Amino acid sequence: MQKVITVAISLLGISFSIFTPTLTARDEVVGLTRAFLSAGASSVLSSLWSVPSLATEQLMVSFYVHLQSGMSKADALRAAQLYVTNISGYTEPWFWAPYQLIGRWR
């Protein structure tokens, strides 16, 4: 049985970069997402920009509820994003659009 690992990280106002001497000139900086995938995570759910904590909490709770119900990761993320769009005050794309699922999405 293959071990499946999904990483979801929310860090307010913190960005990470990992430097390594083995990178070529085109690979100057390896992001945290790539580091987790290289370390064995099957997928990473990340945000392209900082989102307020309450909106992130709503999205993540909904994501895991849908994931536990048997949805694929991609479908669970879509359902969670749709859920957030229906919450008063969080309808703008700023609150739900920056999330991306990288790696195995099934």
What pTM was estimated for this model as a whole?
A: 0.73
Which of 15-19, 60-64, 79-83 holds the top average pLDDT? 79-83
pLDDT at 69 over 50: yes
- Backbone φ/ψ region at 17: left (φ over 0), alpha (ψ -120 to 50), beta: beta
Which run of H or E residues covers position 100?
strand 99-103
pLDDT digits (tens, 9 = 90+) for 16-41: 444 444 545 444 334 777 777 888 88
Question: What kind and span of H or E run contains 46?
Answer: strand 43-47
Instruction: Let me know: does 44 contact 103? Beta carbons within 8 Å.
Output: yes
> 19-28, 31-40, 51-60, 83-92: lowest mean pLDDT where?
19-28
What integer best gives the mean pLDDT of the chain?
Answer: 78
